[in-house]
């Protein structure tokens, strides 16, 4: 009993110190948002679908209520692309893009997460055909919303763009559109931070991939993540390692191709990857909240330590 009370007090104290310093995200809101975005009502958020539009409307209302700025009409960057696999042109894909001006620099950190997923597909034996995409990538999207909220309240040194991207599952289309039609010169971007699948890992490990190309980023992250839970690992970014190389595996890919340094936060694939079982019930809530707080800590360190000139 003693121990329990002490532990509880200790936890409360720990939480309140974090909150006084303002260095943690709103975990309640984070979990509510991932649950909503991965709910059956949104039917897997496939690009072009009604569920995808509902997810977008939700993100849009969040960005508006926190009074982010934007360079796009009503926060929306519309784009079209051809999906060769389906032999179909998607005319109405939309990225949602918000902006926070930096206190010391016009140089940009661009934070991205895709909100689309694969929609409805082959049912399981139990008859579940909705691919909820809780980890992939309602987890990154809900984290993006909380990071935007945090940096709107706690102004960063660098300017920041928060982009919820569409069309990732059809070939990183939203990121390609954003890089192609970016509202500032690309040289102004010091870093892309991409989040895709950050809510579960049995070994308690989160990867920060991409530092192979920019070792100085690794030094900053190692400092920020000393003794962290989850454990922050590096790798999956060496050239010529085939499927083990994640450099083009998500939305950081088009930034890499445009010579923009990137950090990709993500976990290794799990049994529910691109399956109906990637649902809210199967994420690890504790892992997820800790992972997003770790990403916040890393982002704060990068914002402080990266050059602002
Ligand atoms: Zn994904």
What the block records as the tokens of 212 is 């192979």
CA distances from 77 to 22, 92, 183 (A): 31, 10, 10
Alpha carbon of 199 to ligand 1 centroid (Å): 12
Lowest average pLDDT, out of 15-19, 118-122, 243-247, goes to 15-19
Alpha carbon of 10 to ligand 1 centroid (Å): 37
Residue 156: how many other CB atoms lie within 10 Å: 21
Position 57 scores a pLDDT of 98
Cis? peptide before 231, omega within 30° of 0: no
Residue 61 has pLDDT above 80, yes or no: yes
Across all residues in the chain, what is the average pLDDT?
94
- CA-based nearest residue to 223, from 308, 304, 299, 301: 301
Position 217 scores a pLDDT of 98
Instruction: Give the CB-side neighbour count of residue 174, counting CA atoms within 13 A.
Output: 28
**Rounded percentage of the chain residues whose pLDDT exceeds 70:** 93
Residue 16 has pLDDT above 70, yes or no: no
What the block records as the tokens of 8 is 């509880």
- What are the domain boundaries of the chain? 24-305
CA distances from 131 to 139, 169, 170, 307 (A): 14, 12, 15, 41
Residue 22 has pLDDT above 80, yes or no: no
pTM exceeding 0.85: yes
Residues 120-164: tens digit of each pLDDT = 999 999 999 999 999 999 999 999 999 999 999 999 999 999 999
Contact 115, 131 (CB under 8 A): no
Mean pLDDT throughout 160-171? 98
Which residues 6+ apart lie within 8 Å of 299 measured at CB? 109, 111, 147, 193
Residue 71 has pLDDT above 90, yes or no: yes
Alpha carbon of 136 to ligand 1 centroid (Å): 4
Residue 272 has pLDDT above 80, yes or no: yes
CA distances from 19 to 61, 65, 274 (A): 25, 22, 35
What is the spatial distance between Cα 158 and Cα 109, in angstroms, rounded to a whole number? Answer: 7
Mean pLDDT throughout 31-56? 98
DSSP 71-133: SSGGGEEEEEEEETTTTEEEEEEEEEEEEE--SS-S-EEEEEEE--B--B-S--TT---B---
Alpha carbon of 196 to ligand 1 centroid (Å): 5
Position 21 scores a pLDDT of 55
**Rounded percentage of the chain residues whose pLDDT exceeds 90:** 90
Residue 213: how many other CB atoms lie within 10 Å: 14
Mean pLDDT throughout 207-224? 97
Alpha carbon of 169 to ligand 1 centroid (Å): 7
Alpha carbon of 185 to ligand 1 centroid (Å): 27
Q: pLDDT band at 2, cuts 50/70/90?
A: very low
Position 307 scores a pLDDT of 83
CATH 3.20.20.70 fits 24-305, yes or no: no
């Amino acid at each position: 009993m003693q121990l329990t009370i002490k532990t509880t007090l200790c936890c409360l104290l720990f939480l309140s110190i974090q909150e006084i310093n303002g260095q943690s995200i709103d975990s309640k809101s984070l979990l509510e948002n991932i649950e909503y975005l991965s709910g059956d009502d949104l039917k897997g958020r496939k690009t072009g679908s009604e569920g995808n539009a509902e997810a977008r409307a939700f993100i849009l209302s969040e960005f508006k209520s926190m009074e982010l700025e934007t360079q796009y009409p009503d926060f929306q960057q519309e784009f079209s692309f051809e999906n060769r696999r389906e032999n179909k042109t998607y005319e109405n894909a939309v990225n949602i893009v918000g902006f926070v001006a930096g206190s010391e620099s016009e140089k940009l950190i661009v934070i991205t997460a895709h909100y689309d997923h694969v929609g409805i597909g082959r049912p399981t034996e139990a008859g579940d055909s909705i691919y909820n995409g809780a980890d992939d990538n309602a987890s990154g999207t809900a984290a993006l919303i909380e990071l935007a909220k945090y940096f709107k309240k706690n102004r960063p040194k660098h300017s920041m763009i928060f982009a919820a991207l569409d069309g990732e599952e059809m070939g990183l289309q939203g990121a390609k559109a954003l890089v192609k039609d970016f509202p500032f010169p690309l040289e102004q971007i010091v870093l892309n931070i991409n989040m895709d699948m950050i809510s579960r890992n049995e070994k308690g490990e989160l990867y920060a991939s991409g530092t192979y190309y920019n070792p100085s980023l690794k030094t900053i992250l190692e400092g920020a993540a000393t003794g962290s839970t989850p454990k922050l690992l590096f790798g999956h970014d060496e050239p010529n390692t085939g499927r083990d190389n994640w450099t083009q595996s998500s939305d950081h890919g088009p930034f890499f191709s445009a010579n923009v340094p990137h950090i990709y936060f993500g976990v290794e694939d799990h049994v529910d990857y691109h399956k109906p079982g990637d649902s809210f019930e199967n994420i690890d809530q504790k892992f997820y909240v800790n992972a997003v707080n770790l990403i916040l800590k890393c982002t704060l360190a990068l914002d402080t330590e990266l050059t602002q000139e």
